[in-house]
Structure 1
Amino acid sequence: MTEETPHPLTPQDSLVAMMVAVSASDATIRTAELINIQNAVNNLPIFADYDIDRITTVSQTVYDLFEQEDGIAALFGLIRDNLPDGLNETAYALACDVAASDGHIYEGELRLLEEMRYELQIDRLHAAAIERGSRARHMTLAHVS
């Protein structure tokens, strides 16, 4: 009898991986993005029993995958295998919040968010609502016209 190998990512790890991926997608990880990830893990109910020390391990996994030719596809494979469908919109919302957290969404972040919508099968109308909420939460007075 063989013992089943545990999944490499928990559902919470998958959420963290999505946030880290969008932060790293433009090749610059900004302080505002890291603070947003830390705040999400510290304050959201989905992370209530999450071991915060896992952030480093999950981040390194994402960075390692990004260095591989098919790394993004491999990352989405891990996410699909370990994230319950009921958390797809949560994952997308968290990723959008990280992308918006520094006041500007860069081209690499936009491309990855588009890929996330596709891979997580987020309905376009739901994605627009999530994106609008992220934009509203991260608005500054300098952006108001």
Structure 2
Amino acid sequence: MGKEMIYIDFTDGKKQLDTSKMEQWTQEEWNEWRGEPEDHVGIQKVLFNDSDFYMKITRIHYDEATKDMYVTFEAQNKMDRNFSIQFGSWRVDDEEFDLSNSMPEFLGVNSNIIHFRKSVKYMFLKSTIIMEVNIIDVDNNTTFREFEFTLKIYS
């Protein structure tokens, strides 16, 4: 099975506003910038959900003291075998990070939803995150599924 390529554009349908000219914005532009209360839940996006697995990105946040960017997730194994999630290469804007040596996230047989986070040394995402995600069969240490997510967060 080949790598599943998934592109998610969080900017789709959003008007791009020039923040360098905020003093000239109309009331309509200010209203769009502020958004509605339901717009302020952060990034909540299901990456995949099928009969085998579920994975969702739930938040991106920064720690200014450590200069880390954290991405939080939810995941669930719906199968009757043990699996783990292993991240590979991440590209954040134009910088590349290798997460392949980070601790995999274990998903037991028919697991409940688990919550976890991964981080990279990067501050203030400008546009896009590309993540390699591998689902590993724990019992025989083989790759069961491979994904590459391209997440366009900002224009």
Provide the TM-score with structure 1 as the length reference: 0.21
Is the radius of gyration larger for structure 1 or structure 2? 2
More strand by share: 2
Provide the TM-score with structure 2 as the length reference: 0.20
More helix by share: 1
